[in-house]
Chains A and B, each alone.
Chain A
Amino acid sequence: DTGVSQNPRHKITKRGQNVTFRCDPISEHNRLYWYRQTLGQGPEFLTYFQNEAQLEKSRLLSDRFSAERPKGSFSTLEIQRTEQGDSAMYLCASSPDTYNSPLHFGNGTRLTVT
C-alpha cells in the first residue's frame, strides 16, 4: 500500500491559464473522489468515480472543471481559464468497493492563481 499519490504538490499559475492535476489511487481501490479545501474549512466534495464512470458531480464543479479517469486507474482534474477563487488545496481520495469503507486521502495539490 503506497498510498494515494498526487502531482504536482504545488502549482502557481496566472489567471486565465489552464491547469491539470493528477491522482494515482491505491492500486486495488476502484472508487476515486476529488475534494477541494480552502483555508480554515473542511474538504468539499467535487466529484466521484467508480472505475472509469463518473457517477456524481457537485454543483461546485463549474463548466471550467473537468475530471477523467481513463481505464479506471489514475485520474486527472483540469481547470480551464483559472480564476483567483480557484486557489485552494485539491485533494484526491480513494476507497475499495466495500460497504462504508473510509476514504484514504493523498496530500493534495496546492493551487495558487495570481
Chain B
Amino acid sequence: EDQVTQSPEALRLQEGESSSLNCSYTVSGLRGLFWYRQDPGKGPEFLFTLYSAGEEKEKERLKATLTKKESFLHITAPKPEDSATYLCAVRRGSWGKLQFGAGTQVVVTP
C-alpha cells in the first residue's frame, strides 16, 4: 500500500534559522511528488511538482529536492510569514488523486 510519511510533525525556528522538512514515500510508479503550503483555515496552496530523482525546484526561500525514496523541502533564512503547515503528496496516475502526508507544522518566530 502506498505510504507518505512526513517528519518532523512540528518545527519551531528562529527567523533566519535554516532547516529541512522530510517526506518519505513508498509508491509504485510515482508520477509526481507535490509540495503544498497550508495556512490555518485555508486550503492547500500549490508550491512545487517534482517528477524524477535528482530534480530540484526553488521559489523564494524554499527549495524542494527529490530522491527515489524521499523529498526534502529546504527553508533558507525563514521569515515569520513562512509559518504554515507544509504538505507533500504523491501521485501514481497522471490524472489526479494525490495521496497526502500528515504535514509538518512550521512556526518561525522573530
Contacts and interface: CB of A to CB of B under 8 A. Distances in A.
B95 A50 contact: yes
B103 to A, nearest CB: 5
Contacts, number: 59
A48 B96 contact: yes
A100 B100 contact: no
A91 B43 contact: yes
Of the four ranges (under 10, 10 to 19, 20 to 34, 35 or more), the interface on chain B belongs to 20 to 34
Contact of A100 (B31, B44, B45, B89): B31
Interface residues of A, number: 25
B42 A107 contact: yes
Interface of A: 4, 31, 33, 40-45, 48, 50, 56, 91, 93, 95, 99-100, 102-108, 110
20 contacts: A31-B95, A33-B96, A40-B102, A41-B102, A42-B87, A42-B101, A43-B87, A43-B98, A45-B97, A99-B94, A100-B31, A100-B32, A100-B51, A100-B91, A102-B46, A103-B34, A105-B36, A105-B43, A105-B44, A108-B43
